[in-house]
Structure 1
Amino acid sequence: MYSQILMVVWDLRVFWGILCGWLTLKWLVLSMNCWFYERKLGGKRRELPPGDFGWPFIGNMLSFLRAFKTDNPESFMSNFVQRYGHTGLYKVHMFGNPSIVVTTAEACRKVLTDDECFKPGWPSATVNLIGRKSFVGLSHEEHRWLRKLTAAPINGPELLSIYLKYIEENVVKALEKWEGMGQIEFLTELRRLTFKVIMHIFLSSEGEDVGELLEREYTALNYGVRAMAINIPGFAYHKGLKARKKLVAILQSVVTKRREQRRTNAWTSKRDMLDALLDAKDEFSRRLTDEEIIDVLIMYLNAGHESSAHTTMWATFFLQKNPDILYKAKVIDETLRLITFSLVVFREAVKDVHVCGYTIPKGWKVLVWFRSVHFDPETYAEPKKFDPSRWDGFTPKAGSFLPFGAGSRLCPGNELAKIEIAVFLHHFLLNYELEQDDPNSPLMYIPHTRPKDNCRGRIRRVISNTQT
């Protein structure tokens, strides 16, 4: 009996020893990132916001990906709120860097508009795939010049007269075509439609020749942009690099051909964005290289069709589900808020910055978490509800509505996107309906929120008594 008691005691000691050893080892491992990144900060460590750096090397990426592969992606940030309170800023280790996540309107506005304190801080995967000479990699001065050059042709009053007719004609043709196709992936077809529009704006008639080749590669590119930079076969980033290589080759042939046509006066089509890029000179008369032009094209062609297509799909989906508010104003803004196409943008502190009572150290990345801002119940009652009427007589405070970012790096194509969406909704809602195969298809949140089946279904013509 005594020996049995000794054995039980021994087993308990072994168990508790193993448990304590495991907990100690886990604590040491989880402290490694903290020690590595904070040891040089000295007393400034006490000024950091609360949070944790997760596991060595991978940081918080596992918990981030796990949350965004469930039906509750907000659980990633709500976990920080539950553990540390509503501080608005949290330290994390994401996409390979020590970072500060900002989740309040005040903090987001500060980060996005203060160019003296913050510069772009996109992950290496994004920079390598979109291009180091695109907006994601340019300095403030280079960005300001190139943005001014490229934004004017796709924004402002002249856009209406130049592109509205083209957009409308192609929307009408597309809807007629889809009606006769039977089963389609609604999102996929919308992406093709919006891609055709942006190709026309940037590459004119040549866009129709290479549009299908380019559009296929952008899907792989997009998945890689939001992934870790792991260049191993089977990973999204590796596939993205292969897609970029093909995109560069196709666009290089277009640029080379256009240069030759211009040199021999064989180019007779109207002036498009590629012409503007080829003619551009800075204050020192330096012209853009082919690499710079191609990176700008890759960036614009990607951003110019993805956001419009996804937002149009969701606006159509919500309006069909809510016929009582079919013609209420502010439908587009409510869709942009609820879907939050870009869940986060990246900046980097160029010096120690004090924000909302905390210090963001120089060189650290800053993740502007749009989802927290757009789903803040103090600003938007019942934030997960699609309710365009919330915008009636309501103007959100600065920093609380950021579908296209803010500050000097506000998305230059935001007006074009809204026009595309509005034109499509006008023609679709008056004449067609979408019959989904699976209205309850599970959602995917990376790289962008969408039904897993890409909103598969059929487009049917309806008879409407509504007068326009």
Structure 2
Amino acid sequence: MGFEEVGGMSYYVGILLGLVLVLKWVLKSVNSWMYESGLEKKTRERLPPGDMGWPFIGNMWAFLRAFKSTNPDAFMSDIVRRYGTEGVYKSFMFGSPSIIVTTPEGCRKVLTDDDAFKPGWPVATEELIGKKSFVGISYEEHKRLRKLTAAPINGHEALSIYMQYIETNVVSTLEKWSQMGRIEFLTELRRLTFKIIMYIFLSSESEEVREALEKEYTVLNYGVRALAINFPGFVYYKALKARKNLVTVLGKIVHNRRMKREEAQGMTKKDMLDALLDTKDENGKKLDDEEIIDTLVMYLNAGHESSGHITMWTTVHLQEHPEFFQKAKEEQERIVKNMPPGQKGLTLKEYRQMEYLSKVIDETLRLLTFSVMTFREAKKDFEMKGYTIPKGWKAVLWFRSVHHNPEIYPDPKAFNPSRWDDVVPKAGTFLPFGAGSRLCPGNDLAKLEIAIFLHHFLLNYKLERENPECPLMYLPHTRPTDNCVGRIIKVSK
């Protein structure tokens, strides 16, 4: 090949490379043109640093790639490396122009300012959990529904009533597991926590119905953090089918309960479904079936999924750290020893004495960060650290960055309950259940469930994992890929 031919080829290769770079630049600019061009010049100039990724999918490819790898933090660390440590970044997430917020103060401001922000969940979450559940309703509707459900879920009287049911089931379930041999610990925990939340909301439903619903929720959860692509083969498509099945089953339950109540006038309330059927607003209007079903879908999901995962991880961490296990066990032994003569079972008095165990649970909540992020939508232009979150854009609050910030939590990847000794977290630095008016309504119940389980586990059992080095998966939630296969061993006293 002659010199001229080589030169000619190099020329065309150069042109081709140039065209590729131009095309890449154009594609990377599409989202910015679509969503920034309509903003006022002042607002555009005050957008935080960042990029909006590829057309339509935005930064989701990078997010999914990181969270399906062994290093989920690669997504945020790459953004920080490229755009600095300001903690506020422009992006395009879950189908919307977004501002990612990673600072405690920024998260606190967004979560507590109901005049400036409203719920901004992704389309997939709204469609799967329900537009008339807490994730989609207005501030006033949320306030009304929260008032209705808060006391029956987290109230002192309610927690006292649930304690006996929770404890009875924990004791019998641990005994059963110890005789089963090899189990998927996480799977069995999710079944246990689902049984508990089912009892609270739908006390009379059969085991067959419960198992059918729990199976559908497993599929549903994979779609909550997915792209809303409703096409065969995609996770969201399967999750929508699961929601449809859930709505069908729950619709029948609601209908049958209405019929029973009409046949038995004056029947007493038994569970949360009765309360939902009875509730009225100031004008006497009751909730319709869609509102009730969406509320059930949300509560039944949130009420078992997080509790099951957190209980598993707390148990695993304690088992991996014998010194913390022993300290927590000794506390539970003291509590049992100091119970009044003749008392059977735990009461809220004993629960409130579990000071060290509470630190263990809080440390797991911090380290795990079950909800990596949450979403709000700006109702008006909002100023933060000299930047603007434009009206209509989403604020993606990255709780994982807050909980793993070494300036707030030294050696943040280490499990260390002692870090909570004599420490009251500063506002915005500890957000396992969110904050503000939309704080998770079942947070007290969740911690109660976890504490009761750990009380009996610490006193009488140990976990032997089959694959302690099992790799982890991070979507939809952090867990071992084998669902923590192992054996629950009863220990001699």
Partner of 1:236: 235
Relative distance call for 1:277 and 1:207 in structure 2 (3 A) is farther
Partner of 1:19: 17
Partner of 2:464, secondary structure, is: strand
Partner of 2:142: 143
Q: CA–CA distance in 2 between the matches of 1:370 and 1:356?
A: 18
Q: CA–CA distance in 2 between the matches of 1:247 and 1:295?
A: 10
After superposition, the C-alpha distances for 1:174-206 in whole angstroms (9 at most, x for unaligned) are 111111112111000000000000010011122
Which of 434, 440, 453 aligns to 2:469? It is 440
Q: CA–CA distance in 1 between the matches of 2:416 and 2:402?
A: 17
Of all paired residues, the percent bearing the same amino acid is: 65
Tell whether the 8 Å contact from 1:67 to 1:73 is kept in structure 2 after alignment.
yes
Which of 429, 434, 439 aligns to 1:400? It is 429
Map 1:287-436 onto structure 2 (within 5 A).
Answer: 287-326=286-325, 327-328=327-328, 329=356, 330-436=359-465
Partner of 1:42: 40
Q: CA–CA distance in 1 between the matches of 2:12 and 2:433?
A: 57
Q: CA–CA distance in 1 between the matches of 2:167 and 2:189?
A: 14
Deviation (angstroms), 1:7: 2.3
Q: CA–CA distance in 2 between the matches of 1:285 and 1:57?
A: 45
Tell whether the 8 Å contact from 1:379 to 1:396 is kept in structure 2 after alignment.
no
**Please, which runs of 5 or more residues in structure 1 have no aligned partner?**
none
Deviation (angstroms), 1:267: 8.6
Deviation (angstroms), 1:92: 0.7
Question: Which amino acid is the alignment partner of residue 143 of structure 1?
Answer: H
Tell whether the 8 Å contact from 2:201 to 2:273 is kept in structure 1 after alignment.
yes
Deviation (angstroms), 1:462: 1.1
Deviation (angstroms), 1:269: 6.9
Question: Which amino acid is the alignment partner of residue 398 of structure 1?
Answer: A
Deviation (angstroms), 1:127: 0.6
Partner of 1:206, secondary structure, is: coil
Partner of 2:180, secondary structure, is: coil
Q: CA–CA distance in 2 between the matches of 1:268 and 1:121?
A: 39
Q: CA–CA distance in 1 between the matches of 2:112 and 2:440?
A: 13
Relative distance call for 1:284 and 1:269 in structure 2 (3 A) is closer
After superposition, the C-alpha distances for 1:225-258 in whole angstroms (9 at most, x for unaligned) are 1111111111111111111111111111111111
Tell whether the 8 Å contact from 1:434 to 1:459 is kept in structure 2 after alignment.
yes
Question: Which amino acid is the alignment partner of residue 27 of structure 1?
Answer: W
After superposition, the C-alpha distances for 1:391-445 in whole angstroms (9 at most, x for unaligned) are 0011221001000000000000000000000000111121111111111111010
Q: CA–CA distance in 2 between the matches of 1:438 and 1:254?
A: 40
After superposition, the C-alpha distances for 1:77-113 in whole angstroms (9 at most, x for unaligned) are 1111000100111111111110011000000001111
Deviation (angstroms), 1:208: 4.1
Question: Aligned residue pairs: how many?
Answer: 462
Map 1:188-337 onto structure 2 (within 5 A).
Answer: 188-206=187-205, 208=207, 210-265=209-264, 271-326=270-325, 327-328=327-328, 329=356, 330-337=359-366
Q: CA–CA distance in 2 between the matches of 1:121 and 1:160?
A: 31
- The TM-score, its normalising length taken from structure 2, stands at 0.92
Tell whether the 8 Å contact from 1:89 to 1:101 is kept in structure 2 after alignment.
yes
Q: CA–CA distance in 1 between the matches of 2:487 and 2:30?
A: 54
Q: CA–CA distance in 2 between the matches of 1:196 and 1:426?
A: 19
Deviation (angstroms), 1:19: 1.4
Partner of 1:116: 115
Partner of 2:331: none
Deviation (angstroms), 1:35: 1.2
Deviation (angstroms), 1:8: 2.5
Relative distance call for 1:463 and 1:268 in structure 2 (3 A) is farther
Q: CA–CA distance in 2 between the matches of 1:339 and 1:207?
A: 33
Q: CA–CA distance in 2 between the matches of 1:277 and 1:205?
A: 15
**Please, which runs of 5 or more residues in structure 2 have no aligned partner?**
329-355
Question: Which amino acid is the alignment partner of residue 174 of structure 2?
Answer: L
Does residue 1:449 correspond to 2:478, yes or no? yes
Tell whether the 8 Å contact from 2:153 to 2:159 is kept in structure 1 after alignment.
no
Tell whether the 8 Å contact from 1:204 to 1:269 is kept in structure 2 after alignment.
no
Partner of 1:180, secondary structure, is: helix
Q: CA–CA distance in 2 between the matches of 1:11 and 1:261?
A: 82
Relative distance call for 1:133 and 1:97 in structure 2 (3 A) is same
Question: Which amino acid is the alignment partner of residue 37 of structure 2?
Answer: R
Q: CA–CA distance in 2 between the matches of 1:89 and 1:404?
A: 21
Question: Which amino acid is the alignment partner of residue 158 of structure 2?
Answer: L
Map 1:69-108 onto structure 2 (within 5 A).
Answer: 69-108=68-107
Deviation (angstroms), 1:28: 1.1
Question: Which amino acid is the alignment partner of residue 4 of structure 1?
Answer: G
Q: CA–CA distance in 2 between the matches of 1:429 and 1:73?
A: 31
Partner of 1:359, secondary structure, is: strand
Q: CA–CA distance in 1 between the matches of 2:445 and 2:216?
A: 23
